[in-house]
Structure 1
Amino acid sequence: MRILISGGSGLLGSAVSQHLTAQGHRVTSLVRRRARSSAEVQWDPAGRELDPHRMDSMDAVVNLSGAGPADRPWTRSYVETLYESRIGSTVTLVRAMEQADNPPPVFLSQSGTGYYGNVDSAAVDETGSSATDSLLADICRRWEDAALAAPDEVRTVVMRTGVVVTRHGGAIGKLLLPLKAGVGGPLGSGRQYWPWISLPDDVAAMEFLLHNDIHGPVNLCAPEPVQVDDLVVALAQALGKPARLRVPEFVLAAALGRLADEMLLTSTRAVPGVLVEHGFRFIHPTASAVAQWVAGTD
């Protein structure tokens, strides 16, 4: 397949690009600077500029653009960046598809399980409704609406991705640093559910979605939802470290503000209903399995 990808230089985008290339697909990355090779295409998502003819030769578009929600405190300026970096990029891609003579048959666009907001311990699949009292949910709704405006002939999937567990980098990488030093522990009460997925499973799920007749929302998260306590303990045990130093909610709230409330302390027990229904097989379906992979003991 000929695949156009936005956000290809990020942690997830790099992993997806490398995997798809290794599988024999031809991956072209969208870049904001001048293109340096035939494997790159310049665009300006802030200015809504992308040559629609670039779409004509593509079999699929994978949209992973977006500033990292855990990269900086949620000041008013950074919240605007969170919105624009997602919605502006998606609108630019969709407009190019609308103007193309032959739009790509498949469009995978990133979203997040933040769409559901705080649902405590209730399991939610793709039929669950979006939270009305959450900034992150509002971002996800608008992001998805922009993607679902793609032409009718384009099979569009919005990927509601959970916390991506990696060996290095990303949000989990920040949690692993104190754990590896033996000074880490659960965040807040530890009873909140985090929807998570390993990086290899996330990449494999995207390839699965490229090849299977699935459309609409898809939860990209492991089939075993776990509370933060259980995930942190599993990671610590696999690393051979203690996990006794709990970080209280008030400390997180004071240090991180709304970011802590919306991402770290919110409980979202999302389950991958669509992936399971269509027979996707997870490499790391449990907290124990992903912890062993992170520690390099699997």
Structure 2
Amino acid sequence: MRVAVAGSSGLVGSALVPELRQAGHEVVRLVRRPPRAADEREWDPPAGRIDEGALDGVDAVVNLSGAGVGDRRWTHARKQVLLDSRIEPTEVLAGAVAERGIGVLVNASGVHFYGDGGDRVLDEAAPRGRGFLSDLCRDWEAATQRARDAGSRVVLARFGHVLAGGGLLGRLRPIFRLGLGGRLGRGDQYVPWIHRADHVAAIRFVLEHGSISGPVNLCAPHPVTNIELTRALSRALRRPAPWAVPRVALRVVVGELADEMLMSQRAVPKVLADNGFEFRYSKLEDALAELEASGVGSQT
């Protein structure tokens, strides 16, 4: 299979490309600058442009585009960046998939689609919730409509927190190493997580399984609460985590983003499980232990 990947330099994309190649697939990387390697093709989402021939012979497109949600405080301008960095590229790629008759589009989204679910188990049939990120995920997924209308198989890959050198752990590790780690709010909110190795394996799985379409939760089968995550990371790093950050203090530091950080999403990967996907790291302790043993922790 010849696969075009947008967002190939990010946390997920940088691991997905070698995963696909090792499995025997050919990969074309879509980049937003002049190509510097034989496998790169230039595209410009704001201009709606993809280089001539960039998608020739492509069987599937994987779209991982999107600015980091938790990278900085949410201002009005930052919210617009979060929207534009997702909606525009998705519309461009969905249109290209439709026009060229490409059979598959795997498009990133997030389990934030479900909003605050409390302690309810959230599989792919759960309804959309409320909040900025829920609305963003709705619009992000809706931007794939042209590909669906053209008959392409569209997978809406709803990401949990990907555990790797960056992302959630990249932000938490330095704090915990200083002995300043602790739970957020009451700590009873569920955190959907997945080891990066399982994450990229799951993307390859949905690419290769033609019966899978629509929403797919990409998260481990055992979501944990924030306090369970705090304790597990404390043990993995051998650092105490005695603190608690109340909601009011979190809002002072990160503003509106605090409300999203304290949302509970007990998301489970029902579609993956029903189709026989096997996780290498189904337990948080095993995932953290592997990341520390592999030296990922030293990268942050």
- Could you give the per-residue CA deviations for residues 234-287 of structure 1, whole angstroms, max 9, x where no partner exists? 12112222111222221111111111211x101111111100111111111112
Aligned residues: 293
Residue of structure 1 in register with 2:158 after alignment:
160
- 2:177 is aligned with 1:180: yes
**Residues 1:268 and 1:54: Cα distance change in structure 2 (over 3 Å):** same
**1:285 aligned partner:** 282
Secondary structure in 1 matching 2:182: coil
The residue type paired with residue 86 of structure 1 is: R
Identity in percent = 42
Q: Aligned letter for 1:25?
A: H
1:291 Cα shift? 2.2
Q: In structure 2, what is the Cα distance between the partners aligned to 1:235 and 1:18?
A: 28
Q: Structure 2 CA distance, aligned partners of 1:146 and 1:121?
A: 30
Letter in 2 for 1:229: I
Deviations 1:11-31 (A, max 9, x none): 111111122123232111111
Q: In the alignment, which of 169, 192, 195 is matched to residue 198 of structure 1? A: 195
Given the two structures, how large is their TM-score scaled by the length of structure 2?
Answer: 0.94
Alignment partner, residue 142 of structure 1: 139
Picking from 117, 120, 127, the partner of 2:115 is 117
Provide structure 1 residue ranges, at least 5 long, that are not aligned to the other structure: none
Q: Which residue pairs with 1:6 in the alignment?
A: 6
Query: Conserved in 1, the CA contact under 8 Å of 2:97 and 2:103?
Result: no
Deviation at 1:104, TM superposition (A): 2.0
Q: Residue 54 of structure 1 aligns to a residue in which SS? A: coil
- 2:34 alignment partner in structure 1: 34
Partner of 1:18: 18
Aligned to 1:129: 127
Q: In structure 1, what is the Cα distance between the partners aligned to 2:20 and 2:107? A: 16
Gaps of 5+ in 2: 296-300
- Separation in 2 of the partners of 1:54 and 1:98? 15
The 3 A distance-change label for structure 1 pair 297 and 64 is: closer
Deviation of 1:175 after TM superposition, in Å, equals 0.8
Does the CA-based 8 Å contact 1:235-1:292 persist in structure 2?
Answer: no
Partner residue, 2:298: none
**Partner of 2:44: helix, strand, or coil?**
coil
Once the 2 structures are TM-superposed, how far is the Cα of residue 111 of structure 1 from its aligned partner?
A: 0.1
Q: 1:257 aligns with which of 255, 258, 283?
A: 255
- CA shift, 1:51, in A, is 4.2
Task: Give the corresponding residue for 1:171.
Answer: 168
Query: Which residue pairs with 1:87 in the alignment?
Result: 87
Shift of 1:152: 3.5
